[in-house]
Amino acid sequence: MSVDSIRSLLRTKVAGVAGIAGVAPVYDYSRHVTTMEEIKLMLRGSSQERPHWWSVKPAQENPVTFHKRGFCTDGIYRWDITGFYALQDAAASEKAFITIVEAVCNALLADLNLGGNVRFNHPDLGLPGWVGNDYVMAAGLLLHRARITYACVSQVQG
């Protein structure tokens, strides 16, 4: 299975999480904005005022490594799934976002093989994990940011 195929499966998985579906767009690459108008147009759901979006992309470090298994070559694919949520202290946005991040983690844990399309049986793989939690600025807007990692195995040759 190719990088694009796995990315599509992960994007669909993240987009299907309750609280995200139809509310926050999920992109299969990092979006970069410089104006509030771009945020309004691209980075929030049509029915939502609060900017909230996710991106699924190959991990920053070791996105793909290969291992021989008999006559086959397996690829270990590592992914970063990053969520952004506009901070609003009075609305306790941090607590709402934590609930959403946990739901994404639980969805990945419930379907490690992405519907049987990849394998999750290599000793180098860890379970999906929430590995980053901080704040960033985008076009003058303060955002919660969470990063989840996911890794899987797919046969690439043989």
State phi, psi for 83 to the nearest 5 degrees.
-115, 145
- Give the tokens for residue 125: 């793989």
**152 with 141: CB under 8 angstroms?**
no
Write out pLDDT tens, residues 15-35: 999 778 777 889 999 988 888
Average pLDDT over residues 85-102: 92
pLDDT top residue among 90 and 47: 90
Q: Which domain holds residue 107?
A: 3-157
CATH number for the domain that contains residue 36: 3.30.70.1700
Residue range 65-72: mean pLDDT, rounded: 82
Tally the domains of the chain. Answer: 1
AA identity, residue 36: M
pTM over 0.85: yes
Q: Given the structure tokens 């969470």, which residue do they identify?
A: 146
